[in-house]
A = this chain, B = another copy of it.
Amino acid sequence: MGLAGIDASPRGAGESVWHPERDQIELTCVLHALSDPMRLRIVSELAAGEARTCKSFDLPVVKSTCTHHFKVLREAGVIRQQLLGTTRVNTLRRKDLEARFPGLVDAVLRGACR
């Protein structure tokens, strides 16, 4: 599932962590990523607003656990993480997900708000 492989070009405001390409996003991985309440909450909040840093989510777990959940979401192709100074800015990969699995994210988000 998560293979870093060779990543080059560390930069300031761009990418430097591995993300799957749009075509590499797998349905089972996305479903698994979304099947955890904490991660579903992250995605919901991310869908509601704009780009958010990891810390701006007030999750009831320690930092390293946050890192884990954001990593699962990123490697599944659900979110994109961009380096900005000492923080990571998270965004939902709406377009990519919509292109690959039309209607899925909307249906999940609608169900998550219940």
Contact = CB atoms under 8 A, between A and B. Distances in A.
Interface of A: 27-29, 31-32, 34-37, 40, 100-104, 106-108, 110-112, 114
Contact of A27 (B28, B104, B111): B111
Contacts of A36: 28
A37 B28 contact: yes
A107 B111 contact: no
B106 A111 contact: no
B28 A31 contact: no
A108 B31 contact: yes
Question: Which of A31, A40, A103, A112: most chain B Cβ within 10 A?
Answer: A31
B112 A107 contact: no
